[in-house]
Amino acid sequence: MALTDYVTLGRSGLRVSPFCLGAMTFGDDWGWGSSVAESETIIARFMERGGNFIDTANVYTKGHSEQIIGDFIGRDRARRDRIVIATKFFGNLYEGDPNGGGAGRKAIAAACEQSLRRLQTDYIDLYWMHSWDKFTPIDETMRALDDLVRAGKARYIGFSDTPAWKVAQAQTLAQLRGWTPLIALQIEYSLIERTVEGELIPMALELGLGVTPWSPLRSGVLSGKYTRENAKTVKADRGERVTQFLDERAYAILDQLARIAAVHHTTSAAIALAWVQSRPAVASTIIGARRLDQLEQNLAALDVALTPADIAALEKLSAPTLNFPFNFLKSAAMFMHAGATVNGETSTVWPLLPKTDAERY
């Protein structure tokens, strides 16, 4: 696979590269991150390799991330027309202002204008709701987003970090009322965080949403930097966000990643990224990089072709505990098909099945 093996995002005609460049670390305004020069070098290299999908948000590095992208891409029309820029609303940049964030019409309209200014463009390719706003009716949010699309200020819309039932409600409302539908879902997804497989991934498949996973390396937990041996001596760049997940389950996954990486002559990070990108519903995985060499290391995952044995070994160790009714539904075929094979899926015979006509009432 290469960055130029583009895919359509969800049920849309938008073509994006299989890896998306995450821009959360563009700018050092939070006390860590990439300098402006380094950020521009990373963007240039990503585009040079064929990447055309960049993801940011209005609140990343206090708005500086969008400004850096705007300076490098937005003011250059030739670059702007070739790149897919995704950004988000919801985050609040104004202390004490109740309408400075969230998903109400006023907040969305203001956030969009501010992002367009920082990005130095007159349209956003993919406009995300960063998280669910429980205080705003979802029909207000969807209608406001539809208005932005009709006004030409956004091309497509998607949701990030929102419960499956709320995403489904929003998509159903849009379809029934003829509003702009969602085309994508941005969620955390990695070998450490697989609980999205219970509701969010099946929903995305059913509703035609392309999944763009964030934190596929779990903030660096799966990068290969941390091992059982150095756990007490290596300082985690993101502190507790990393250390709280360095448990026995994580170390077992890390050990397996190292074994598979050795066979493929690559890194643990590349194997972890290749696994995420191979998952059902996943369209484009968001990769972050604070340095150019980190970008190159992450892009190495495109050269990895995992075997069924590799995938099985990783999935066995990382299997999540999912909410009801996930496990219960595994037995549904038994008393639905009673031993028959349907759509290639076999079923066992239900032990309580009547054996003769005389036993059936």
Return the structure tokens found at 129.
């709701």
The contacts of residue 48 (CB under 8 Å, 6+ apart) are none
Phi, psi values for residue 104, rounded to 5°: -80, 165
Catalytic member of 6, 60, 156, 189: 60
Q: What is the DSSP-derived secondary structure letter of residue 304?
A: -
From residue 62, alpha-carbon distances to 30, 31, 57, 66, 112 in Å are: 8, 11, 9, 9, 15
CB 52 within 8 A of CB 83: yes
The contacts of residue 257 (CB under 8 Å, 6+ apart) are 191, 222, 224, 268, 271, 272, 314
Tell me the pairing of strands 7-8 and 15-16.
antiparallel
DSSP string of 142-177, one letter each residue: HHHHHHHHHTTSEEEEEEES--HHHHHHHHHHHHHH
Cβ neighbours around 239 below 10 Å, total: 10
CB 285 within 8 A of CB 313: no
In the three-class reduction of DSSP (H, G, I as helix; E, B as strand; rest coil), residue 8 is classed as strand
Active site residue 60: yes
Q: How far apart are CA 204 and CA 199, in angstroms?
A: 9
Q: How far apart are CA 262 and CA 22, in angstroms?
A: 27
For CA atoms 44, 46, 50, 53, give the dihedral sign.
Answer: negative
CB 68 within 8 A of CB 39: yes
- Residue numbers annotated as active site: 60
